[in-house]
Amino acid sequence: MRYINVAVPVPIRQVFTYVFECESSREQTPLIGKRLVVPFGHREVVGVCVEENVTPDHAALTNNDSAKTTNDAKTTEVRKVIELLDHIPCFSSELLTIAYWLSDYYQHPLGDVIATMMPASLRKPAKLDDVQEDCLILVDSDEENDVLLSPKQKSLYSLISSNNNLMTVRDIKQHYSSRIIKALIDKDIARRISVSKPRINWQSFLQQASTNQSKHVATIEQSIAIAAIEQANSFSAFLLEGITGSGKTEVYLQVLEKVLSDHKQVLILVPEIGLTPQTVERFAQRFGDIVVSMHSGLTNQQRLAVWHQARRGDKGIFIGTRSSVFLPFHNLGMVIVDEEHDESYKQQDGLRYHARDLAIYRAKSLNIPIVMGSATPSLETLFNARTGKYHYLTMTKRTGGAVLPSQHLLNLNGLSLQSGIATGLLEKVQQQLELGNQVLFFVNRRGYAPALQCHQCGHVVECDGCGAPMTMHMSTNNLQCHRCGYANRIPNKCSECGSQELISHGIGTEKLEQFLDYYFSPYKSVRIDSDSVRSKQAFAMMLEDIHANKYQLLVGTQILSKGHHFPNVTLAIILNIDSLLFSGDYRAAERIGQLVTQLSGRAGRANKKGEVWLQTHQPGHPLLQDLLNNGYTHYSRSLLEERKAANLPPFSYLSLLRTETQVAEIGIEFLQYARSMLTQFSNATVIGPLPSLIEKKQRRYRYQLLIKCHSRKYLHAMFAQVLHELEKHKGANKIRWHLDMFPTDIS
C-alpha cells in the first residue's frame, strides 16, 4: 500500500490523498512528478503526484475533506489511483519546486498551477509515447541501498540520481562497464527502459554560428555587455538598457555562443512572436536547426513536440512567449527576456503569473545567468538595477551611425484639424512622401470611430453588457464593443428618437487610413492593428510590402511600436497622446514613456534622420516635457522618484482583490467582508471597496480592494490566512472573484 498526495486540477487549495496499488515492478519506481488518472468526485481527472509515503492517518483526514468538497459519498476510505501515465516524471524536481513557488507566490491552488504549467495534451489521460533509446532509471531512491552497493556501483547510483534518476545507457557506458550496470539491475535498484533522446551535433552549429556572415563585429558598447554577461557562470541578473537599434539582439546572439559551447540550452522569452517574426529568423539564420519557437499559433500537438524537444535536449535555443517559461529543459544554461517591460508577460486570468519574474526565480534556482533587455525598462527592473540587485548594462548609441529621431510636441489648441491631424503636419507628410520616404501614424483606437451618436437627441449607442460606447467598424460593417467583443449591426436610426441622423465621433485606424488614402493619393496607406493582422502570414506579407515600399503611409495601434525596423520611415505622428495622459492607473505615465519611445524607435533607423511629432492639447504637461526634453532614461528615473514619494510600487507592494457580479451589492458585500479581515493586519493599507476603472463588463459590475504593503512577505502571510477564511464565505463559491497578488493592470 502506497499512500500518495496528488495535485488535482481543481481550484481548491489542497492536495488529495490516494492509494496506489500496483504490483508490477515497473510501477514501483518513485511516483513523484508523474501523472496519474485519479477519481475526483464523479469524474476522473489527470493529477500529478507531489508527495509519497504520506501516512494513512493524514490521508484519511484529507480524503474526508475531499469527499465533502466534491459532494462525494461520505466515506473515509482512501480512493485508488486508476492509472499511472508516465514512466519519466512530467515534473522534474526543478519543475515541482517551481510549481510550489508559484502556488505560494501568487496564492494560487497547486493543482491549478500544475495544470497551467503543462501543455494541453498532457492534461489529457494519454500516455507519452516517447520511447526509443535505451535508458537506466532508478527504481527506488532509498538511502538504505547504500549497504548493498560496491563503491563503483554507488558512484553510478549517485550519478543517475543527480540526473533526475534517468540516464541513457550510452552516456553511462562512457564511464561505467556493462557489469556495473547489470549489477544495479540485478539488485533491483535500476531498471532499463526506452526513451527517445536524439542528439544535437553542437559542434557543427557552433561552427556555423561563429563564421556566419550575419555576425557583426561588436561595437565597444556591445563588447562591454558581452564580456560582462559571459563572465557570469552562476546566477546573475543583467539589465541591458539599450536604445532602439543599439544592437541588443546582436548581444544576445553572441553571448549564446558561449552557453551553447557548454552544450547547454537557452530560453529566449519574447512578447509576441507573431508580431516579430524577424527575431526568430535572425536566431535561425545564425544557429540553424537548433532553434525552435513556441507561440500562440501552434497546435497542441506542436506544443507537445516542443515540450519533448526541451526535455530530451534535442534543440538548443527556445524562443517563445510567456508560457515557454514552463518548458522542462534538459540542461538550461541561460535565460534572455527581450523587451522585458512588455505587459504581455503577465497572464491576466487564472494563474496570474509574470513570466519575467518566474524566469528570474528559475534562473536563480538553476544558478544560471538571466539577461533582461529593453530600450524602455520597467520601473521595477530599473529599481532592481539601481539597488544593485541586477547588473546594469547600457548601450546608448545606434549601430552603423544611425541617429535617434528628434521629438517634438505640437500644441493643438486652436489649430485646425483634418481627420485629427493638424494641417501643418499634413504639409510635412507631403514633403516626406515626395522625398520617397514613409510616414507612420499612431492612433490608439482600432476601427473607424470610437462612438456613434444621434444628432437629434444626443443618444450614444452603448453595449448593453458593458455600458461603454460601441466602436464603429467599416471593414466588418458593424458596431463592436471593445471591452467584451459583442458586435451588432450599425443601426440606420436612433433607438431613442427614431432620427436617421447618426454621426460618428472620434478617429480610429480605419477612418485615418481612409482619409490618408484619399488626401495623399496616389500614395498608398496600410493599416496595422489587431483586425488587419489576424493571421501571422498576412502580417508577414504586410511587413514585406512595407519594406518593398508598396505603402508609404503606415497607420496603426500599439502593434506598430513592437520591435519592427522600418528603415524608410522618417516621420512619425502620434495623434492623440492626451487620451493616455489622463488615466486613473498609476502606471499610465510609465506606459506613455514606453510607447512614445518605442514608436520613435521605429523612425530613422537607417542613415535617414527622423522626426517624431506628438499632437497634444497639453504641451506644457510636465510628463511630456520631461520625456521629450530628457529622454526615457531621465524620465523613468523621475517617475521612480514620484513612485517613491507616493509610496507606490516598486517601493511598496500592491495586491488586488476583485469581484465581478451582476448585482453590484453582492460584490461590495463580499469585499467588505474581506476588508474586515484584512484591516486586522496593521502593516497593510486597504483601499476600497471601490468600482474598478472599467466598472462594468459583460453585465457584471466590477469592484475591487487594493491592498498596499511595504513587504511582499507580509502580504503573502496575510493572504495565506485570509483566503482560507474568505473561501468559507457563503458567496465564495457562487460569485466571480479573484486575487491578483501583483497586478500590472488595475483597470
Residues making contact with ligand ADP (CB under 6 A) = 216-219, 222, 242, 244-250, 399-400
DSSP 8-state symbol, 446: -
Binding Zn ion by CB under 5 A: which of 457, 460, 687, 690?
A: 457
* Binding test (CB under 5 A) with Zn ion, winner from 215, 364, 483, 617: 483
Q: Is 502 in the site for Zn ion (CB under 5 A)?
A: no
220 binds, among ligand ADP, Zn ion, none (CB under 5 to 8 A by kind): none
Q: Is 708 a residue that touches Zn ion (CB under 5 A)?
A: no
Distances (CA, A) of 674 to 86, 728, 729: 42, 11, 9
* Residue 248 touches which member of ligand ADP, Zn ion, none, C-beta under 5-8 Å by kind: ligand ADP
Assess 452 for contact with Zn ion (CB under 5 A).
Answer: no
Closer by beta carbon to Zn ion, 347 or else 456: 456
Q: Which is nearer to ligand ADP, 605 or 696 (CB)?
A: 605
State which amino acid sits at residue 563.
G
Q: Which does 459 bind (CB under 5 to 8 A by kind): ligand ADP, Zn ion, none?
A: Zn ion
Cα 307 to its chain centre, rounded Å, is: 17
In the bound state with Zn ion, the residue whose beta carbon lies nearer, of 607 and 662, is 662
Residue 483 binding target from Zn ion, ligand ADP, none, CB below 5 to 8 Å by type: Zn ion
Nearest-angstrom CA–CA distance, 188 and 24: 13
Residues 6+ apart with CB under 8 A from 359: 267, 269, 325, 335, 337, 370
321 and 295 Cβ atoms separated by less than 8 Å:
yes
- Closest contact distance (angstroms) between CB of 267 and Zn ion is 37
What CA–CA distance (Å, rounded) separates 112 from 110? 5
The site partner of 249 among Zn ion, ligand ADP, none (C-beta below 5 to 8 Å per kind) is ligand ADP
Among 497, 663, 687, 720, binds Zn ion (CB under 5 A): 497
Angle at which helices 93-105 and 355-366 pack, to 10 degrees? 140
Residue 246 near which of Zn ion, ligand ADP, none (CB within 5-8 Å, type-dependent): ligand ADP
CB of 557 to Zn ion, least distance (A): 19
| Cβ at position 240, least distance to ligand ADP in Å | 9
198: cell is 536524439
Phi, psi of 52 (to 5 degrees): -120, 170
β-strand 611-616 against 684-697: which pairing, if any?
A: unpaired
Distance (Å, rounded) from C-alpha 171 to C-alpha 134?
Answer: 10
Asked if residue 277 binds Zn ion (CB under 5 A), the reply is no
Q: How far is the CB of 456 from Zn ion (least distance, A)?
A: 5
481 binds, among ligand ADP, Zn ion, none (CB under 5 to 8 A by kind): Zn ion
Calculate the alpha carbon distances from 87 to 31, 83, 117, 191, 371 in Å.
Answer: 9, 12, 19, 11, 35
Alpha carbon distance 411, 398 (integer Å): 30
**Nearest distance from residue 529's CB to ligand ADP, in Å?**
22
CB 285 within 8 A of CB 214: yes
499 binds Zn ion (CB under 5 A): yes
Residue 465, contacted partner among ligand ADP, Zn ion, none, CB below 5-8 A by kind: Zn ion
78-99 in b/e burial notation, b at 16+ Cβ within 10 A? bbebeebbbbbbbbbebbbebb
Least distance between ligand ADP and beta carbon 222 (Å)? 5
d(CA 291, CA 100): 30
Q: Which residues pair with 294 in a beta bridge?
A: 320
CA angle 77, 111, 197 (to 5 degrees): 110
Q: Is 399 a binder of Zn ion (CB under 5 A)?
A: no
Contact between 484 and Zn ion per CB under 5 A: yes
Give the chain's length: 747
* Residue 247 binds which entry of Zn ion, ligand ADP, none, CB below 5-8 Å type-dependent: ligand ADP
Element (H, E) at 695: strand 684-697
Piece of 92-100, 264-272, 377-385, 476-484 that binds Zn ion (CB under 5 A): 476-484
Q: How far is the CB of 596 from Zn ion (least distance, A)?
A: 29
Binding site partner of 496, from Zn ion, ligand ADP, none, Cβ cut-off 5-8 A by kind: Zn ion
Query: What sign does the CA torsion over 207, 211, 215, 219 have?
Result: positive
Identify any residues that bridge with 369 across adjacent strands, giving them in sequence order: 236
Quickly tell me which residue has 505640437 as its cell: 410
Which CB sits closer to ligand ADP, 33 or 563?
Answer: 563
Q: Which does residue 219 bind out of ligand ADP, Zn ion, none, counting CB within 5 to 8 angstroms by kind? A: ligand ADP
> Choosing among Zn ion, ligand ADP, none, which partner's interface includes residue 399 (Cβ < 5 to 8 Å by kind)?
ligand ADP
- And the C-alpha cell for 190? 535500476
> Shortest gap between Cβ of 253 and ligand ADP (angstroms)?
8
Nearer to ligand ADP (CB atom), residue 111 or residue 601 = 601
Q: How many residues bind Zn ion (CB under 5 A)?
A: 15
Min separation Cβ 560 and ligand ADP, Å: 15
CA 234 to chain centre: 25
The minimum distance between CB 62 and Zn ion, in angstroms, equals 43
When CB distances are held under 5 to 8 angstroms depending on the partner's kind, the choice from Zn ion, ligand ADP, none that residue 250 binds is ligand ADP
Work out how close the CB of 303 gets to ligand ADP at its nearest, in angstroms, rounded to a whole number.
27
The closest alpha carbon to 360, from 380, 379, 376, belongs to 380
Residue the block writes with cell 526509443: 132
- Which of the listed partners (Zn ion, ligand ADP, none) does 454 bind, with a CB threshold of 5 to 8 Å by partner kind? Zn ion
What interhelical angle do 664-678 and 712-726 show, nearest 10? 120
Among 208, 331, 456, 478, binds Zn ion (CB under 5 A): 456
Q: Which position among 463, 577, 595, 624 is part of the footprint of Zn ion (CB under 5 A)? A: 463
Residue 481 binds Zn ion, judged by CB under 5 A? yes
Closest among 520, 624, 630 to 580, alpha carbons compared: 624
Choice from 50, 466, 507, 571 touching Zn ion (CB under 5 A): 466
Residue 242 or 649: the one with the smaller Cβ distance to ligand ADP is: 242
CB of 232 to ligand ADP, least distance (A): 20
DSSP one-letter string for 15-76? -EEEEE---SGGGGS--TT-EEEEEETTEEEEEEEEE-S--HHHHHHHHHHHHHHTT--S--
Compute φ and ψ for 567, nearest 5 degrees.
Answer: -60, -20
Is residue 454 within the footprint of Zn ion (CB under 5 A)?
yes
C-alpha cell at position 405? 529621431
Our finding on whether 465 is near Zn ion (CB under 5 A) is yes
Shortest Cβ 630–ligand ADP spacing (Å)? 21
Q: Which residues bind Zn ion (CB under 5 A)?
A: 454, 456-457, 459, 463, 465-466, 481, 483-484, 486, 494, 496-497, 499
